[in-house]
Chain A
Amino acid sequence: EPEVTQTPSHQVTQMGQEVILRCVPISNHLYFYWYRQILGQKVEFLVSFYNNEISEKSEIFDDQFSVERPDGSNFTLKIRSTKLEDSAMYFCASSEKRSNQPQHFGDGTRLSIL
């Protein structure tokens, strides 16, 4: 079964540094998403992306965050200047259609900010 894959599985970064989290969505999917999950808390939506642009974002997704689809397979989340509170699991998801369709998740990247 096709999978969403994320790299790295664990990223440790000094506060203030930039990080890029990478995702390869399922190949025939057109909609891509980033969610985060702070330890012990629920999964929170960050941003959705379609046709090379952001289609929806939450209040969490501020100017420190950006997303990009640099080529035909990768989907990235960049955090420009990391803060301690950015420590969380970051999940990428993709779906075939816009809405009312299951979103399929990767296994996440654990981001630890020191």
Chain B
Amino acid sequence: GESVGLHLPTLSVQEGDNSIINCAYSNSASDYFIWYKQESGKGPQFIIDIRSNMDKRQGQRVTVLLNKTVKHLSLQIAATQPGDSAVYFCAENINYGQNFVFGPGTRLSVLP
């Protein structure tokens, strides 16, 4: 069936470097995407979203890029900090549905 997947299950970066977390989605009808951060023992925390009529959206230290041609979504974190260590999920919303389909997640580890 349709699914959201991630290229890298784990990512280790040096503190201060930029991080890029990738996500591939297979449903061309998806029109809204969210990146969530999940710390240990916590629920998914909203980071940034993007609608399908946009290619790029920037937040504080984070940027989401959407490439609809290849069905690819990425999250860029600038100047990665130890507090960024967590599992990051992309989630897609299909055709104004009420649920999100989550990817399996990428664990980001920030090295001192």
Q: A residues touching B (Cβ–Cβ < 8 Å)?
A: 4, 6, 31, 33, 41-45, 48, 50, 55-56, 58, 91, 93, 98-100, 102-108
Shortest beta-carbon distance from A110 to chain B in Å: 9
**Is A91 within 8 A of B105, CB to CB?**
no
Partner of A102, one of B34, B97, B98: B34
Contacts of A48 in B (CB 8 A): 98-99
Contact of B99 among A33, A102, A105, A107 (CB under 8 A): A33
Is B45 positioned at the interface, with any CB of A under 8 Å from its CB? yes
Chain B window 28-50, contacts with chain A (Cβ cutoff 8 Å), 1 for yes, 0 for no: 00011010100001111110010
* Distance of A103 Cα from B41 Cα, bound (Å): 18
User: A6–B42 Cα gap in the complex (Å)?
Assistant: 11
Count B-side interface residues using an 8 Å CB cutoff: 25
Interface secondary structure of B, over-half rule: strand
* B103 contacts A42, C-beta separation under 8 Å: yes
CB distance from B108 to the nearest CB of A (A): 16
A3 to chain B, nearest CB (A): 10
Contact call A56/B97, Cβ cutoff below 8 A: yes
Residue-wise, chain B 10-41 has the 8 Å CB interface mask toward A (1 for contact) of: 00000000000000000000011010100001
Cβ of B49 and Cβ of A99 under 8 Å apart? no
Give chain B interface residues in 52-95, CB to chain A under 8 Å. Answer: 89, 91, 93
Alpha-carbon gap, A38 to B43, bound state (A):
13
Q: Is A106 a contact partner of B100 (Cβ separation < 8 A)?
A: no
Top 4 A-B residue pairs of the complex, sorted by shortest distance between their CB atoms? A105-B43, A45-B99, A48-B98, A43-B102
